[in-house]
Amino acid sequence: MDKFINPLYMTKTDLIYRAETNENPEEIWNKLQRWRRENGVNILLKDQKKNNFFFVITNELKKKVVEIDDLARSNIFEQLDEKSKIEMIRNAQEDEAFYSSIIEGAHTTKQRTKEMVENKVMPKTKDEKMVLNNYHALMYILENLHKEIDEKTILDIYEIVKKDTLEEENISKGYRDGQNYVSSMEQIIYNPPEAEEVKWMMSDLIQFINNDDDKRIHTIIKALVIHFYFVYIHPFYDGNGRTARALTYMYLLKNGYQFFKFFSISSILKEYRTKYYKSIKNVEDYDNDVTYFILFNLEILEKSIRKVSNDFKNQYLLKIISERIEKKGLELNERQKKL
């Protein structure tokens, strides 16, 4: 079965396309699905039919988790003085607030984001309010990392995210009390659970967040499962994606991944929106197998971390080196700076 899960974790379409002429794709697919389910890690979170989700620990998954963990736990930002750290964190939060809104279809600019955050300029449109709300939600998280992630914390984040941005029919106290749909270009692409299912699903999610009994589920994997299940439940009429990303951010920071303060995951994710939604659809289509969503998001995380590491080396490290050289009365020429 290895060739069907490493390095590419195949969908049924992938398998049919790559099957040998003497192979029966349907038969192979059925065997593969059974093998994945039997050898996967069962997650104590259920779908609308009360079936559990699961994921498979593939070689590619293990490799990416180790790489991300090493990068994320590195101390490259320790060389910064406190002022530079604060500046970099603020820039990262501005980017995350902006790009998380862009993913949801907002129309504004990074310049307007900077003006609203740094110069206290009032937002003029709902889209600008969405961006500013996202920024305030990230600030709330940084100020409340000592708190447990419980229902109140999630509702607090959502209240900040949605403030003055929802249509009248989408306003509810707490979780949604009716059905909603995920649509694209006026076509329904996902039917979330019925409203009466939301309460127990969210209760299960909160229990999952705060239970660390299953050591097979690495913290980074768990953060991605939390993200997936939240958008699967779709507990609110609107703002689910933004709240899910904020919740994932909080979980990672609470579990020691301070690196994530310094960059925006959504700045990379916005380039892969179609693949992001496809990874969610694959989970639904292929027997609750969250591996598709996990592998896609691990790739995004790795790209994001490598980008911020390179940007840091190119910008902040050069600044630090230049300042130290200036203190010694020396000066770098342009060629030396490039090196």
Q: Among this protein's residues, is 227 annotated catalytic?
A: no
Q: Round to whole Å and give the CA distance between 98 and 131.
A: 5
DSSP state of 41: E
Other beta carbons within 10 Å of 199 = 14
Q: Which of 107, 146, 218, 234 is catalytic?
A: 234
Helix (H) or strand (E) run with residue 46 in it? strand 41-46
Query: Binding site for ATP, residues?
Result: 238-245, 276-277
Which of 314, 317, 301, 221 shows the shortest CA–CA distance to 263? 301
Query: Binding site, residues?
Result: 238-245, 276-277
Q: What are the residues whose beta carbons fall under 8 Å from the beta carbon of 272, sequence distance 6 or more? A: 296, 300
Please tell me whether the peptide bond between 193 and the residue prior to it is cis, using omega within 30 degrees of 0: no
The CA-atom distances, in angstroms, between 275 and each of 38, 250, 282 are: 27, 24, 10
Backbone φ, ψ for residue 43 (5° rounding): -100, 135
Helix (H, G, I), strand (E, B) or coil at 92: helix
Active site residues: 234
